[in-house]
Amino acid sequence: MHKYMTIIAIPLATLALAGCQQEAPAPAAEQASRNTLSQLPVSTNAAMVGLIDQSADYIWAMGNGDLPKDDHDWHLVRGAFYDMILGGAVMKVPGTGEFDAQWTAEDNWQQWSDELTQIGQDALPLAESRSTDIAAWRAIGDRLVDNCLQCHEAFKPEVPSQGVLHESTERESRGISIFD
Ligand code: HEC
């Protein structure tokens, strides 16, 4: 019985190998479309509100001395900084918004987006080491404010083009912890 199974198994394995070899390599164009993101499925504005603005709030909370209380809070903070790192990369690609292609074509747009990624990357080790150095957090927060303001001054219209709006910061202004 054992012998019989071995005999069967060999031709099957050979067939499987032959199948692999016959598979044509993916054409270059198809390969490229897998590796590059040419358009986001949402607007820049939605990416801004969903990824950037969300994660920025954690950096600023830390700078204001609103520190995580437990493991769960630190996980939230770390996750937010990965969002910031990725969010900067996302911002470099046009989305579905009316002006997205125009904006992302500008050099300073690309630089400010890269800076978001860099700021997220600089915040990550602080989160990993669970730093309670509020001055260090505030220094990162200050760089972030400059970044947002500079780009908004250059590009942000009065009313967001896709109607996605920032959630009220009323809670923060009333001093309620971001972690509550
Ligand atoms: C690379 C440029 C750029 C950077 C950097 C940038 N923004 Fe924006 N942001 C924009 C543009 C442009 C819009 C408007 C998009 C639209 O209307 O389609 C916008 C929209 C927004 C909105 C939604 C509109 C509103 O008024 O509620 C929020 C919130 C926001 N940004 C927050 C931030 C924060 C916080 C930062 C920094 C952490 C930041 N942005 C950094 C370009 C930028």
Interval between CA 50 and ligand 1 midpoint (Å): 10
Tell me which residue has its CA closest to atom 15 in ligand 1: 45
pLDDT at residue number 12? 47
pLDDT at residue number 157? 77
pLDDT at residue number 175? 78
Interval between CA 90 and ligand 1 midpoint (Å): 13
pLDDT at residue number 10? 47
pLDDT at residue number 56? 94
pLDDT at residue number 16? 47
What is the distance between the alpha carbons of residues 116 and 163, in angstroms, rounded to a whole number? 23
Tokens of 148: 């947002």
Interval between CA 77 and ligand 1 midpoint (Å): 21
pLDDT at residue number 32? 62
What is the distance between the alpha carbons of residues 66 and 47, in angstroms, rounded to a whole number? 25
The mean pLDDT values, 10 residues at a time, for the chain of 180 residues are 49 47 61 77 92 92 95 96 96 95 97 98 97 97 94 84 60 79
What is the distance between the alpha carbons of residues 128 and 13, in angstroms, rounded to a whole number? 47
> CB under 6 Å to ligand 1: residues?
43-45, 48-49, 52-53, 56, 91, 97, 103, 109, 112-113, 116, 144, 147-148, 151-152, 155-157, 160-162, 165-166
Tokens of 27: 């054409």
Give the ligand 1 atom nearest the CA of 91: 1
What is the distance between the alpha carbons of residues 72 and 69, in angstroms, rounded to a whole number? 8
